[in-house]
Copies of this chain bind each other. A is one copy, B any other.
Amino acid sequence: MGFSMVASHAVGKGKEPDAVFAVLNKANIAKAALGQEKVINASIGAIFDEKEQFAAFKGVSDYFRKLPDEELMNYAPISGLPDYLQAAIDYTFGQYKPKDAFIKAIATPGGTGAIRNVFYNYIEQGQKALIPDWFWGPYKTIANEHLRDIDTYTMFDEDNNFTLSSVKEKTLELLKMQDNLLTVYNTPGHNPTGNSLKYEEWEEILDFYKDCAKNKNKKIILLLDIAYIDYVSNPDEGRKFMKLFSGLPENILITIAFSMSKSFLFYGIRCGAIIGVSSSSEVAEEFAQANSYSARGVWSNGVRGAQKLLVDVMKNKELKESIDKERTQLSELILNRADIFVKEAKEVGLDILPYQGGFFISVPAKDPTAIADKLMEDNIYIVPLKKGLRFAICALPTHKIPGLAAKTKEALR
Contacts and interface: CB of A to CB of B under 8 A. Distances in A.
A213 to B, nearest CB: 11
Of A13, A66, A291, most buried by chain B (CB within 10 Å of CB) is: A13
Contacts of A6: 121-122, 286-287, 290
Interface in A236-295: 250-251, 253, 265-270, 278, 280, 282-283, 286-294
A399 B280 CA distance: 50
Given A8-B124, A14-B289, A303-B303, A268 B138 contact: no
A193 interface: no
A110 B109 CA distance: 12
Given A75-B268, A268-B74, A9 B125 contact: yes
Interface in A107-152: 109-110, 112-113, 116, 120-125, 127, 138, 141-142, 144-146
Interface string A41-64: 000101000000110100001001
A99 interface: no
Contacts of A78: 18, 21
A72 B61 contact: yes
A123 B7 contact: yes
Contact of A5 (B112, B278, B298, B301): B278
Contacts of A56: 69-70, 73
A74 to B, nearest CB: 5
A142 B287 CA distance: 18
Contacts of A66: 65
A251 B289 contact: no
B77 A54 contact: no
Of A5, A21, A53, A54, most buried by chain B (CB within 10 Å of CB) is: A5
Contacts of A288: 14
B116 A75 contact: no
Contacts of A296: 18, 138, 141, 145
A77 B21 contact: yes
B75 A54 contact: no
Contacts of A122: 5-7, 10
Nearest to A2: B282
B65 A141 contact: no
Given A138-B300, A146-B297, 10 more contacts: A9-B124, A14-B288, A15-B289, A61-B72, A113-B300, A116-B298, A268-B304, A269-B304, A270-B270, A270-B301
